[in-house]
């Protein structure tokens, strides 16, 4: 094989074509091609491990980084790192203490992906198990499947020795009780005038604009790592949208939406409105933008713009000022250790651990 036809060159070239074509501008395609050459020259692994996480993941990146230095595989390290936050009742967006669904039941979603084998595992709407990311890792390691959901995921976890635990803390139960008491129309069931389509598939008339911000609590932890061999892994774990319809699965356990790894390129993840991320294949799109030569932060911003343009076709998701009524944050870690993150709105942070220690950084912003 000549260098021109290595697997990586093939991947980079094919993604450039797709993205260039979707932009529909020949001249842009040209620019991507120039960037491809630059990207190939840059993608050597970092000399020491680099781990990134969402803003709530400072302890997770510290732990993941330490585990990699101690010899752990990157997938094991990121799952171990997020385990700290899954077990922390103070974080009401992940694992134990996470806010429950409409019925007061905590249902968790998680996924993990291992770059060197390009294998993924995930669980959706799992109950009574504190560490869904570790269960997702078991799916990856011990089955030929990618995703196991609901009761099946719980039973699978029990087979692997995970303990049955009550995940609903008093604080989360009280928050749910307050929501239930005051809920009025603050739920996920669309009113007739909020629907873009009626249940029989007939287009619904415009009705009244509803520009209320989406009134729910989001929160999740994403964590990605690359080691000096250039092995990349990532995971995302969450209790999902609070007070969701029972059985609702967000973007976090969906490979390519809330998390994705391509060992030739890097990793990406998302937090925020899962429905918007799923409908734009967010994490996959970020890795493809990096493959096309964009810097990680630029790749995140590029995908956020696409998410906005796709999502705001649903008029209830748009405010009068033309901005979306929800937030999404994208995270990107390239194979060479360069990282970035971008949010739709100001004040979001992400975390990193590398040779210089663990710290929080500001996310780039789409709408200042
Ligand atoms: N993305 C998660 C979900 O939609 C929630 C979040 O990140 O805040 O389930």
Q: Are residues 209 and 132 in the same domain?
A: no
* Opening angle at CA 12, ends 68 and 133, nearest 5: 35
Going from the Cα of 203 to the center of ligand 1, the distance in angstroms, rounded, reads 28
Strands 147-149 and 119-126, sheet pairing:
parallel
3-state secondary structure of 161: coil
| Confidence at residue 176, expressed as pLDDT on a 0 to 100 scale | 86
**Ligand 1 interacting residues, C-beta cut-off 6 A:** 93, 218-220, 238, 240-241, 250-252, 258, 271-272, 274
Provide the residue count of the chain: 368
| Confidence at residue 93, expressed as pLDDT on a 0 to 100 scale | 84
Domain with 110 in it: what CATH number?
3.60.20.30
> Residue 362: beta bridge partners?
349
Burial label for 47, CB within 10 Å (0-12, 13-18, 19+), is exposed
* Counts of helices then strands in the chain (DSSP H, E): 10, 13
Could you count the other beta carbons within 10 Å of the beta carbon of residue 102? 18
Beta carbons within 8 Å of 69's beta carbon, 6+ residues apart: 48, 49
User: Which pairs count as long-range contacts for 363-368, CB under 8 Å and 24+ apart, including other chains?
Assistant: 363/329, 364/297, 364/300, 364/301, 364/340, 366/301, 366/304, 366/305, 366/308, 366/342, 367/323
C-alpha–C-alpha distance, residues 8 and 100, integer Å: 43
Q: Are residues 52 and 188 in the same domain?
A: no
C-alpha–C-alpha distance, residues 272 and 238, integer Å: 11
- Residue 7: which of 241, 236, 230, 265 has the closest Cα? 265
Instruction: Write the CA distances from 21 to 25, 28, 193, 264, integer angstroms.
Output: 7, 9, 36, 22
| Confidence at residue 175, expressed as pLDDT on a 0 to 100 scale | 84
Q: What is the position in ligand 1's atom list of the atom closest to the CA of 218? A: 8
Q: Are residues 335 and 235 in the same domain?
A: yes
Strands 221-226 and 147-149, sheet pairing:
unpaired
Q: Are residues 208 and 237 in the same domain?
A: no
Query: Is 157 within a domain?
Result: no
Cα–chain center distance at 246: 20
Q: Are residues 276 and 357 in the same domain?
A: yes
Going from the Cα of 236 to the center of ligand 1, the distance in angstroms, rounded, reads 10
Q: Sheet of 147-149: strands edge to edge?
A: 147-149, 119-126, 108-114, 232-238, 221-226, 50-54, 349-354, 357-362
Q: Are residues 143 and 253 in the same domain?
A: yes
Instruction: Write the CA distances from 243 to 22, 120, 257, 279, 294, integer angstroms.
Output: 36, 28, 21, 21, 37
Q: Are residues 202 and 268 in the same domain?
A: no
Query: Is 129 within a domain?
Result: yes
C-alpha–C-alpha distance, residues 348 and 12, integer Å: 30
Closest C-alpha to ligand 1, atom 9: 240
Q: What is the position in ligand 1's atom list of the atom closest to the CA of 275? A: 4
Query: Is 164 within a domain?
Result: no
Going from the Cα of 100 to the center of ligand 1, the distance in angstroms, rounded, reads 13
- Domain hosting 69: range is 7-152+217-365
Going from the Cα of 239 to the center of ligand 1, the distance in angstroms, rounded, reads 8
Per-residue pLDDT of the chain (368 residues; tens, 9 = 90+): 333 333 344 344 333 333 333 333 333 334 444 344 454 545 789 999 999 999 999 999 999 999 999 999 999 999 999 999 999 998 888 898 888 999 999 999 999 999 999 999 999 999 999 999 999 999 999 999 999 999 999 999 999 999 999 999 998 988 888 888 776 566 776 765 666 655 555 444 433 334 433 335 667 999 999 999 999 999 999 999 989 999 999 999 999 999 999 999 999 999 999 999 999 999 999 999 999 999 999 999 999 999 999 988 888 888 888 899 999 999 999 999 999 999 999 999 999 999 999 999 999 999 98
Is 248 in contact with 240 (CB distance < 8 Å)?
Answer: yes
Catalytic residue among 74, 220, 287, 351: 220
- Residue 61: which of 45, 88, 82, 86 has the closest Cα? 82
Sign for the CA dihedral angle at 234, 235, 241, 245 comes to positive
C-alpha–C-alpha distance, residues 38 and 333, integer Å: 17
Q: Are residues 56 and 84 in the same domain?
A: yes
**H-helix or E-strand spanning residue 133:** helix 132-142
C-alpha–C-alpha distance, residues 327 and 119, integer Å: 29
Q: Are residues 142 and 113 in the same domain?
A: yes
The residue with tokens 């595992």 is: 121
Query: Is 161 within a domain?
Result: no
CA atoms within 13 A on the CB side of 75: 25
Domain count, the chain: 2
Instruction: Write the CA distances from 42 to 30, 265, 333, integer angstroms.
Output: 19, 11, 13
| Confidence at residue 316, expressed as pLDDT on a 0 to 100 scale | 84
Query: Is 82 within a domain?
Result: yes
| Confidence at residue 25, expressed as pLDDT on a 0 to 100 scale | 33
Query: Is 39 within a domain?
Result: yes
C-alpha–C-alpha distance, residues 244 and 138, integer Å: 26
Query: Is 225 within a domain?
Result: yes
| Confidence at residue 319, expressed as pLDDT on a 0 to 100 scale | 86
Closest C-alpha to ligand 1, atom 7: 271
Q: Are residues 36 and 85 in the same domain?
A: yes
C-alpha–C-alpha distance, residues 167 and 55, integer Å: 23
Q: Are residues 38 and 173 in the same domain?
A: no
Closest C-alpha to ligand 1, atom 1: 274
Q: What is the position in ligand 1's atom list of the atom closest to the CA of 258? A: 1
287 is catalytic: no
Going from the Cα of 250 to the center of ligand 1, the distance in angstroms, rounded, reads 6
Query: Is 1 within a domain?
Result: no
Q: Are residues 47 and 118 in the same domain?
A: yes
| Confidence at residue 194, expressed as pLDDT on a 0 to 100 scale | 66
């Amino acid at each position: 094989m000549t260098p021109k036809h290595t697997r990586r060159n093939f991947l980079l070239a094919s993604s450039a074509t797709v993205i260039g074509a979707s932009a529909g501008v020949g001249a842009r395609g040209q620019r991507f091609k120039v960037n491809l050459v630059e990207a190939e020259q840059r993608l050597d692994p970092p000399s020491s491990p680099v781990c990134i996480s969402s803003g709530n993941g400072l302890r997770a990146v510290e732990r993941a980084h330490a585990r990699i230095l101690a010899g752990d595989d990157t997938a094991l390290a990121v799952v171990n790192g997020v385990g700290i936050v899954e077990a922390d009742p103070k974080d009401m967006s992940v694992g134990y203490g996470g806010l429950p669904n409409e019925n007061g039941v905590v249902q968790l979603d998680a996924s993990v992906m291992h770059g060197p084998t390009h294998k993924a595992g995930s669980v959706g709407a799992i109950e009574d198990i504190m560490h869904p990311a570790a269960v997702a890792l078991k799916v990856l390691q011990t089955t030929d499947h990618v995703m196991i959901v609901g009761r099946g995921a719980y039973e699978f976890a029990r087979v692997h020795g995970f303990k049955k635990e009550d995940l609903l803390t008093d604080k989360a139960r009280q928050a749910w009780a307050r929501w239930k008491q005051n809920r009025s129309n603050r739920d996920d069931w669309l009113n007739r005038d909020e629907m873009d389509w009626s249940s029989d598939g007939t287009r619904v008339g415009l009705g009244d604009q509803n520009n209320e911000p989406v009134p729910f609590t989001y929160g999740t932890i994403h964590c990605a790592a690359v080691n000096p061999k250039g092995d990349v892994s990532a995971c995302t774990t969450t209790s999902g949208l609070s007070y969701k319809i029972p059985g609702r699965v967000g973007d976090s356990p969906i490979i390519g939406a809330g998390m994705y790894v391509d060992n030739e390129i890097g990793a990406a993840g998302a937090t925020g409105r899962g429905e918007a991320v799923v409908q734009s294949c967010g994490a996959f799109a970020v890795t493809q933008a990096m493959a096309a030569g964009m810097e990680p932060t630029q790749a995140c911003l590029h995908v956020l713009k696409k998410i906005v343009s796709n999502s705001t076709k649903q008029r209830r998701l748009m405010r009068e000022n033309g901005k979306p009524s929800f937030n999404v944050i994208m995270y990107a870690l390239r194979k060479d250790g360069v990282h970035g993150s971008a949010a739709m709105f100001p004040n979001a942070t992400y975390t990193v651990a590398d040779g210089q220690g663990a710290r929080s950084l500001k996310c780039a912003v789409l709408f200042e």
